[in-house]
């Protein structure tokens, strides 16, 4: 297991005139939790689908343990898609057993794995329930169980924390750390930057299909890139077009988390965020540190 890791090497993917991925490279090492961060449409899901073989890359390579991926390799990968891939009218127990068998387990091993993970995820009493009768959070747990039931060699999880309550979030966080401690590489995306900061050994920030920053949390804190929030409720969707040295890290409603390179003009950012013909009613909230998980801020307003 020690030499097993995922390598994405200069992968590109294009949809018509849109570059979804452009020469994207990253590595997820054995026993590592790697957090994939970026705004909607940045390329996170496309990357994961290429890893799993759902999409084909236009250029570049994806390797496992130094070798190109094949079907039998991917069969050992646990995948949790952002759009849940469960059969709503199928019972939980038989669904997990069926999915485990698809990944190569015998019927007996699939049943043992199903029993283990339903218990581990506090769903031992829900095995005879149809998936559609479960809450969103419990369906999320079943989807996680489906990714874990066959003891995968790699975990690829697209927004696994979305919609979870605090208790379920703690359970999932513990499970992911346990998997990494057992030597499993874990790649997951999330918009919850506090979780990324707490959990991840390394973080990659993707913007418009390119990796714009990658390293440990401490590395990103010590970089010269400044992080700032912009609250721009009246700004058009294209307000970032034309700004140089500015990268979108996250969008939450009208609030944009940006990375500003050294020498960048924060007032130009503020001016661009204003609605056409509007007053200066936006504001910037700066992080005191470089990493988006840092909580201290100082505010700067313009009217």
30: number of Cβ within 10 Å = 18
pLDDT tier at 224 (50, 70, 90 boundaries)?
A: low
pLDDT of 69: 93
Per-residue pLDDT, 168: 86
Is it the case that residue 287 has pLDDT exceeding 90?
Answer: no
- If one counts every other C-beta atom within 10 angstroms of the C-beta of residue 274, the result is 18
Give Dmax over CA atoms of the chain in angstroms.
68
H-helix or E-strand spanning residue 195: helix 193-199
> Per-residue pLDDT for 107 more than 70?
yes
Per-residue confidence (pLDDT) for residue 225, from 0 to 100: 64
Compute the average pLDDT of residues 163-184. 91
Q: Where are the beta strands (DSSP E) in the chain?
A: 6-15, 18-28, 33-37, 59-64, 67-68, 77-80, 154-158, 186-189, 202-207, 210-215, 226-231, 246-252, 255-260, 283-287, 297-301
Residue-range domain boundaries for the chain:
6-215, 223-301
Kindly tell me if the per-residue pLDDT of 303 is higher than 70: no
Which option is the CATH number for 6-215: 3.30.830.10, 1.10.645.10, 3.50.50.60, 3.40.50.300?
A: 3.40.50.300
Average pLDDT over residues 247-273: 75
- What distances in angstroms separate CA 134 from CA 10, 92, 157, 205, one per listed residue? 41, 10, 20, 34
Q: Select from 210, 169, 173 the least CA-distant residue to 20.
A: 210
Arithmetic mean of pLDDT, 8-34: 94
Identify which of 279, 270, 273, 275 has the alpha carbon closest to the alpha carbon of residue 300. Answer: 270
277 — pLDDT class (breaks 50, 70, 90)? low
Return the higher-pLDDT residue of 59 and 301: 59
Contacts of 158 (CB under 8 A, 6+ apart): 44, 45, 48, 80, 81, 82, 188, 189
How high is the pLDDT of residue 197?
Answer: 86
Structure confidence at residue 222 (pLDDT) = 66
State pLDDT tens for residues 30-67.
999 999 988 888 899 999 999 999 999 999 999 999 99
The pLDDT value recorded for residue 137 is 86
pLDDT at 171 over 80: yes
Cβ-proximal residues to 274 (8 Å cutoff; 6+ apart), any chain? 232, 234, 235, 280, 281, 282
Rg (C-alpha) for the chain, rounded Å, is: 21
Compute the mean pLDDT over every residue in the chain, rounded to the nearest whole number. 84
Residue 250 pLDDT > 60 = yes
């Amino acid at each position: 297991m020690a030499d097993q890791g995922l390598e994405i090497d200069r992968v590109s993917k294009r949809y018509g005139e849109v570059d979804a991925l452009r020469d994207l490279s990253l590595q997820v090492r054995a026993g590592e939790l790697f957090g994939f961060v970026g705004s909607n449409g940045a390329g996170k899901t496309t990357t994961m689908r290429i890893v799993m073989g759902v999409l084909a890359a236009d250029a570049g390579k994806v390797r496992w343990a130094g070798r190109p991926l094949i079907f039998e390799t991917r069969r050992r990968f646990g995948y949790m898609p952002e759009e849940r891939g469960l059969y709503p009218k199928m019972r939980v127990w038989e669904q997990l057993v069926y999915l485990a068998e698809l990944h190569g387990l015998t019927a007996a091993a699939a049943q043992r794995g199903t029993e283990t993970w339903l218990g581990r995820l506090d769903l031992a009493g829900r095995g005879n329930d149809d998936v559609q009768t479960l809450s969103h959070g419990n369906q999320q747990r079943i989807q996680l169980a489906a990714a874990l039931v066959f003891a995968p060699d790699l975990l690829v999880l697209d927004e696994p924390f979305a919609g979870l309550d605090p208790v379920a979030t703690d359970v999932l966080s513990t499970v992911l750390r346990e998997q990494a401690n057992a030597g499993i590489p874990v790649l997951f995306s999330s918009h919850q930057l506090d979780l990324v900061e707490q959990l991840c050994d390394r973080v990659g920030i993707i913007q418009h299909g390119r990796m714009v920053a990658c390293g440990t949390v401490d590395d990103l804190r010590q970089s010269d890139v400044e992080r700032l929030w912009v609250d721009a409720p009246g700004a058009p969707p294209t307000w970032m077009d034309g700004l140089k040295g500015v990268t979108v890290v996250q969008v939450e409603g009208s609030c944009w988390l940006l990375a500003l390179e050294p020498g960048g003009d924060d007032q130009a950012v503020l001016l661009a965020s204003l609605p056409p013909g509007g007053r200066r009613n936006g504001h910037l909230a700066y992080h005191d540190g470089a990493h988006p998980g840092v909580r201290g801020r100082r505010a700067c307003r313009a009217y």
